[in-house]
């Protein structure tokens, strides 16, 4: 029953396109992780980004203390 429905469906290409896009992005992220982050200084720089204060703006904690 389902085989006849899927055999005539023209929409079967879209799940394959989505799967190919997902696999390509996933492989790209893995490649960047393994090959793009070999420099220890770059890893430390990226790891410290959330801890750097914004320049020119007050943090929410400082705004409440005033």
pLDDT tens, residue by residue, 10-61: 788 888 899 999 999 999 999 998 998 888 898 888 888 876 676 765 555 5
Distance from C-alpha of 30 to C-alpha of 38, rounded to nearest angstrom? 13
For 10, the token pair is 């023209």
pLDDT at 59: 57
Distance from C-alpha of 53 to C-alpha of 66, rounded to nearest angstrom? 18
CA 14 to mean position of chain CA atoms = 22
pLDDT at 62: 55
Q: Which long-range contacts (CB under 8 A, 24 or more apart) does 41-50 make?
A: none
pLDDT at 20: 96
pLDDT at 61: 59
């Amino acid at each position: 029953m389902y085989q006849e429905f899927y055999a005539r469906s023209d929409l079967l290409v879209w799940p394959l396109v989505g799967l190919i896009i997902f696999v390509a992005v996933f492989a790209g992220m893995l490649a960047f992780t393994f090959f793009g982050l070999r420099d220890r200084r770059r890893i430390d720089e990226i790891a410290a980004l959330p801890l750097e204060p914004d320049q020119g703006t007050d943090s929410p904690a400082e705004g409440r203390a005033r």
